[in-house]
Structure 1
Amino acid sequence: MKKIRQFANKKVLVLGLARSGEAAARLLAELGAIVTVNDGKPFDENPAAQTLLEEGIKVICGSHPLELLDENFELMVKNPGIRYDNPMVVRALDKNMPVITEVELAYLVSEAPIIGITGSNGKTTTTTMIADVLNKGGVNGLLSGNIGFPASEVVRTAEENDTLVMELSSFQLMGTKAFHPHIAVITNLLPTHIDYHGSFADYAAAKWRIQKQMGPSDFLVLNFNQELAKEFAQKTQASVVPFSTKEKVDGAYLEEGMLCFRGEAVMPADAVGVPGEHNIENALAAIAAAKLSGIDDKAIQESLSSFHGVKHRLQFLGDVNGVKFYNDSKSTNILATQKALSGFDNAKVILIAGGLDRGNEFDELVPDITGLKKMIILGESAPRLKRAATKAGVSWLDAKDVKEAADLAFAAAQPDDLILLSPANASWDMYKNFEVRGDEFISAYTALKEKAHD
C-alpha cells in the first residue's frame, strides 16, 4: 500500500458504515486523516461503530445531523448506497466538498494493478472467473469491491505483484475521480437501478466512468452483442477488446462451438462449468481479461471447466435422488431469470419465482417460461407471475416461503428434473436480501438431501 500524505491531518467524514464504510474509516485513519464516521443506526445497535470508537475514531450515530457539516470537513467518503439527493450529500456538494466512494480511496493507495468489472448482469460471476483464472495462471488475483470484500480493506495488504480484481457498481463508480484500472470489463448495459439514477442514460453514464482515466495502453473489454457497446467503443481513449457470441471480433468470440481469442481456439464452449448462454458471454469476457494479463490457455481451460458458479448466482447445489438443485437467488429482475432459463430444457425445470412487487407485469417472461414442468410462486408479485404462467400454459402452486417452495418443487419432481430458484424479483418483501433468500433455499436442499439418506 502506498503511504500517501494527501489525507494527513485533514478532516474527513465517512457517511454510512456497512463493511465498506468501516474499511474506509480504518484506511483513512492509517493515512493520518482526522476521521469522523456518521451512521444512521443507533450506537447501541451498531457493533461496527462501537469497534471504531474503541480504535480511537470519532463516531456519530442514530441520525444524520446537517450541522455536522459545519465542522469544515475537507472530504466526504460516501457509502455507495446513499443517494446524491440525500440532504447530507447535497449539503456537502453545496459546500464544494469532494464526495467520493471508497473504491476511489483504494485506487489512490493501491500498489497493485486493477482489473475493474462492471455491468448490469454477470458482474460477480465474471469477476470471480477472472480471479480464478489469474490464480490458476500464477498471478495472485484478489477479489475486491462490490463482491463483498471492500476495496479499501483488500488494498491495505495488496502488493505490486498482486492484481486487484474489482467488481464495481454504478453507485461506486459515481464517486470516482482519479480511478484508473489497467483492464476494465463492462459485461452488458441494461435498464436497471433507474429509481436511483433517474434514467437509463444517467445509469449508463455512471457505468462508463470506469474508463474515464484510461488511455491507449489500457484495455477496455466490451460486449459487442450489444449495439450500445459498439457505440461506446468509439468514445474511449482505451484500447477496445470486444467479445461476442454472435460474430467474430478482434478479441474473444464463439466460433463453431469453441471459445476463441484473436484467431486462436482456447477451449470448447460446452466445457465451461456453468450452464447458459450468458455464462458463455461471461467466460469470453474472462478469457479476454486473462489473455491480456498473459495467462496461458491451459490455466484458462482448467479454471473455467472447473468453475461451478458463485453462491446465489446459478449455483449448482447438487442433487437429491436424481433431482438437481440450482440456487439463482441473485436473479432479481426478469432478464436475469431469462438468462438462467436459457441454459436448461424447460420440460425438466420446476421454477421457483416471485418476490417484491415493483408494479411490472411479466409478459416478456412468457416465452421463456413456456414449456416449464411447473412453477412454484411466492411473494408480493405472485398475482402477476400467475398471470404470466397462465399465458404460458404452465401449472403453478402457491408457497408461503422459499423452504415450502423447495419442498413442493421436490414433491413434484422426478429423476433428471431440476429445481431452479430464480425469482425474477427482489427479495425485500420477505427477506432482508437475496443472500438470506438463497441461504434458505440451500438449507431446504440440505434438509431434503439428509432426509433422502436416512
Structure 2
Amino acid sequence: MKNIYLVLGLSLSGKASSFFLLNQCKTKQVIAIEDNFNEDDEIRLLKKQNVRIFNSIDFIENFSNFKKIEKVIISPGFNPDSEIVKIIKKNKIEIISEIELGARFLKRNLKFPNKKFKNKIIGITGTNGKTTLTKLIEHILNENNIKAKGLGNIKIPFTSYLTNNLLKNKQHAKNSDEIFILELSSFQLEKTKT
C-alpha cells in the first residue's frame, strides 16, 4: 500500500508542503530530504509531528521500498538532476510542485452543494520582473476592490497561505472569491499541471 509522501527540499516551499500534507491532507507519513539545512523552529516542529528527515545519501542507502511512496513534492531549489530524483523517476513515482499540491487539494476538496471552488489563479513566470509584476497585479486588483493575494516565490508559499487563511474556516473558503497571483519559476511550472 502506498502511504508515504516524500518532500524533496526543506526550503520555504518544502516546509509548507510538509505542514500542508500533515494538517490539511491528513497524510500519515511524510519523509523529507534535505542535504543542507539548519535546524530551526519549523524543522523541530516537523520532527515533533513525526516527519522523518534524511539527507539524500542516507535515504538512498537505507530506504528500500520505493513502491510505498504515493507522491513526491519537489521544492524549486532541489536539484532535478540529483541521484534521488533519477531513482524516483526510474520507479515511475509522480513528482509534483508545492503549487500543484495546493491546487489539487482545492480542486478535490472545495466542492459544495451546487457550487465549486471559485477562486481564480493567475500564474506569473519569465526571466525578469516576476516579483514586480506579481505585486503590481495584486495592487491593481485590490485597489479596484477585487480581493487578491500575491504568493509563490515571493516568500509566501501557496500551501502556507491556504492553511493559514483560506482553509481555516470552511464557510470562509466557501464564500471566498479571492484571486491568487502566483510567482512561478519555470521549474515549478514543469511540475504543475492543474
**Normalising TM by the smaller chain, what interval?**
0.7 to 0.9
Choose the corresponding residue for 2:45, options 43, 47, 51.
51
> In the alignment, residue 130 of structure 2 is paired with which amino acid?
K
Q: Are the counterparts in 2 of residues 142 and 154 from structure 1 also a CA contact under 8 Å?
A: no
Deviation at 1:143, TM superposition (A): 1.3
Q: Give the Cα–Cα distance (whole angstroms) in 2 for the partners of residues 12 and 81 of structure 1.
A: 18
SS of the residue 2:79 aligns to = coil
Name the CA shift for 1:100/1:12 in 2 (closer, same or farther; >3 Å): same
Structure 1: tracts of 5 or more residues without a match? 1-8, 180-454
2:165 is equivalent to residue 166 of structure 1: no
Q: Are the counterparts in 1 of residues 56 and 84 from structure 2 also a CA contact under 8 Å?
A: no
Deviation at 1:69, TM superposition (A): 5.9
- In structure 2, the residue matched to 1:60 is 53
2:136 is equivalent to residue 140 of structure 1: no
Q: Give the Cα–Cα distance (whole angstroms) in 2 for the partners of residues 120 and 165 of structure 1.
A: 17
2:12 is equivalent to residue 19 of structure 1: yes
Q: Are the counterparts in 2 of residues 69 and 91 from structure 1 also a CA contact under 8 Å?
A: no
Deviation at 1:170, TM superposition (A): 0.5
Choose the corresponding residue for 2:96, options 100, 121, 127.
100
Percent identity for Structure 1 against Structure 2:
30
Deviation at 1:70, TM superposition (A): 2.4
- In structure 1, the residue matched to 2:112 is none
Name the CA shift for 1:38/1:127 in 2 (closer, same or farther; >3 Å): same
Choose the corresponding residue for 2:72, options 46, 71, 76.
76
Choose the corresponding residue for 1:126, options 124, 127, 133.
133
SS of the residue 2:63 aligns to = helix
> In the alignment, residue 29 of structure 1 is paired with which amino acid?
L
> In the alignment, residue 122 of structure 1 is paired with which amino acid?
G
Listed one character per residue, the Cα deviations across residues 76-97 of structure 1 (whole Å, up to 9, x for unaligned) are 1011122321111110010000
Q: Give the Cα–Cα distance (whole angstroms) in 1 for the partners of residues 63 and 131 of structure 2.
A: 36
Structure 2: tracts of 5 or more residues without a match? 107-116, 167-172
Return 141-150 or 108-117, whichever deviates more: 108-117
Listed one character per residue, the Cα deviations across residues 141-169 of structure 1 (whole Å, up to 9, x for unaligned) are 11111111101111222343111111110
- In structure 2, the residue matched to 1:32 is 26
Deviation at 1:113, TM superposition (A): 1.4
2:84 is equivalent to residue 88 of structure 1: yes
Q: Are the counterparts in 1 of residues 74 and 97 from structure 2 also a CA contact under 8 Å?
A: yes
Higher RCO (C-alpha 8 Å, min separation 6)? 2
Q: Give the Cα–Cα distance (whole angstroms) in 2 for the partners of residues 106 and 85 of structure 1.
A: 24
Q: Are the counterparts in 2 of residues 12 and 35 from structure 1 also a CA contact under 8 Å?
A: yes
Which has the greater radius of gyration?
Answer: 1
Q: Give the Cα–Cα distance (whole angstroms) in 2 for the partners of residues 108 and 135 of structure 1.
A: 26
SS of the residue 1:74 aligns to = strand
Q: Are the counterparts in 1 of residues 17 and 159 from structure 2 also a CA contact under 8 Å?
A: yes
Alignment TM-score, normalising by the size of structure 1: 0.35
Deviation at 1:122, TM superposition (A): 1.1
Q: Are the counterparts in 2 of residues 69 and 92 from structure 1 also a CA contact under 8 Å?
A: no
2:134 is equivalent to residue 113 of structure 1: no
Listed one character per residue, the Cα deviations across residues 317-336 of structure 1 (whole Å, up to 9, x for unaligned) are xxxxxxxxxxxxxxxxxxxx
Q: Give the Cα–Cα distance (whole angstroms) in 1 for the partners of residues 125 and 55 of structure 2.
A: 33
Deviation at 1:49, TM superposition (A): 2.1
Listed one character per residue, the Cα deviations across residues 47-88 of structure 1 (whole Å, up to 9, x for unaligned) are 13212112x132223444214362521111011122321111
Q: Are the counterparts in 2 of residues 37 and 57 from structure 1 also a CA contact under 8 Å?
A: no
- In structure 1, the residue matched to 2:170 is none
> In the alignment, residue 165 of structure 1 is paired with which amino acid?
I
Aligned length: 167
Q: What is the RMSD of the two structures over their aligned residues, measured on CA atoms?
A: 1.8
1:194-343 alignment runs, 5 A limit: none
